[in-house]
Amino acid sequence: MTERVVVTGAAGFIGSHACQVLLRAGWRVVGLDNFDPCYPRWLKELALRPLLASPAFRFVEADVRDRAALDGHLEGAAAVVHLAARAGVRESVGRGAAYRDINVGGTHAVLDACVRAGVRRLVYASSSSVYGLVAPPFTEAARLPSARSPYAASKQEGEDLCRRFAAVHRLRAAVLRFFSVYGPGQRPDQVLHRFARLAAEGSPLPLYGDGSSERDYTYVSDAAAAVAAALAWTEAGPAGAEPFNIGTGRGVRLDRLVGLLAESLGTRPTVLPQRAHPADAARTRADITRARRVLGWAPKVELELGITEFVRWYEVVYGYEALAAS
């Protein structure tokens, strides 16, 4: 009998792509999402469309803090992929209580439900933001500093919960530290999506700092493949919660990213220099040696192709939005 996995945040950016990969791998998938209003519901519904076409996928609109909903759907499941969270480093500043309630409270609720249902396999979505001002390349063995934002703090707490539950309740958990995931389905607040919208409007692009800041950009299909690889890893081995960096191992300057996006859009946007945000790290770059060796995972999509695919999606989706509004 085909095994069943519960994916939280299934209508979200990484979640919807991860569900597609898991369905192709032969899993039966129950997707949970509460359509958090941090961005338009119609974008999430659009992401769900290809999933709902599969007889192996079932969608449940529910909050991960809802005990009854979790218990009803984790019973008999082989594993949980916990991707549901309120995202955004800058957006979290000044909203610490809400981020802690959703991200830490939600993770605690999922772990409690795993214990009640006897689920021993977990994949947890963390973030590169947990590294703060650690000098790149970031390795999983690095001592994590004090968090620079409520979002980063919530992810550090989530990792701590995974470790504690794994030790006490014999869970095997993969903690995935995602690095700047981009691509089709990206949230409107994320850099490529936001810049594409501003460029389409003819508005200047806010360039934080002098453009020399660097990020390790990970294409969403590579992130989704990492979820599947991590889930396979949880099948056998000792209990514990192990972190894995999910990135490319290469830093890309912000001004280069803007140039590649402008080229793909066929525009020449103006930029508006802004002061760098204090919660942002100046540079991020993953050491992915461990993910390659232990999970057998490696990124495949180059940045230029990834941006082209994002722009293709963006033009189709916002054409759809215009039609829906007419």
Catalytic residue ranges? 151
Q: Are 28 and 5 in contact (CB under 8 A)?
A: yes
Q: Strand pairing partners for 241?
A: 173
CA distance 93 to 201: 27
Hunting for tokens 């080229």 — which residue is that?
A: 263
> How many residues can be counted in the chain?
326
Number of neighbours of residue 40 by Cβ within 10 angstroms: 13
Residue 81's contacts (CB-CB under 8 Å, 6 or more residues apart) are 5, 6, 7, 8, 15, 18, 22, 122, 123, 227, 231
How far, CA to CA in Å, does 89 sit from each of 32, 129, 190? 24, 8, 10
Pair of tokens at residue 201: 């409007």
CA distance 307 to 43: 19
Q: Are 194 and 261 in contact (CB under 8 A)?
A: no
Q: Are 280 and 212 in contact (CB under 8 A)?
A: no
